[in-house]
Structure 1
């Protein structure tokens, strides 16, 4: 591995120039967007599972 590649790998492992634990406004807004997207995704999946369970429960009661 070349010295440049070793330096880049080392820098990537160390996290770059930013001090750990401190985030800029861009990182915080990204985290907020990710949290909102995750919350919406979980709500959508919960609604899908509820609809699927209701549909399966309804099909059990229906005569064939």
Structure 2
């Protein structure tokens, strides 16, 4: 909020609607699934995951 008398006070941004929240959640789930699939492919081929980390060793 501005203390300057010539500028109007800013209103807080309204909370996202249910549709927006669901769309954002769906996009995040798709991104996570793509990342997990890429890591699994890297693990199967013996390569490093796309983030440049070390391959994950099971058990």
Q: Match for 1:53 among 46, 49, 53?
A: 46
Unaligned runs of 5+ in 2: 1-11, 48-59
**Are 2:20 and 1:27 equivalent residues in the alignment?**
yes
Report which of the two structures shows the higher radius of gyration computed on alpha carbons: 1
Unaligned runs of 5+ in 1: 1-18, 55-64
Residue 49 of structure 1 aligns to a residue in which SS?
helix
- Larger RCO (CA within 8 A; separation ≥ 6): 2
Which whole-Å deviations, capped at 9, do the CAs of 1:6-64 have from their partners, x for residues lacking one?
xxxxxxxxxxxxx625100111000110111011111100001101117xxxxxxxxxx
Number of matched pairs: 36
Residue 22 of structure 1 aligns to a residue in which SS?
coil
Higher share in helix: 1
Q: CA RMSD in A?
A: 1.8
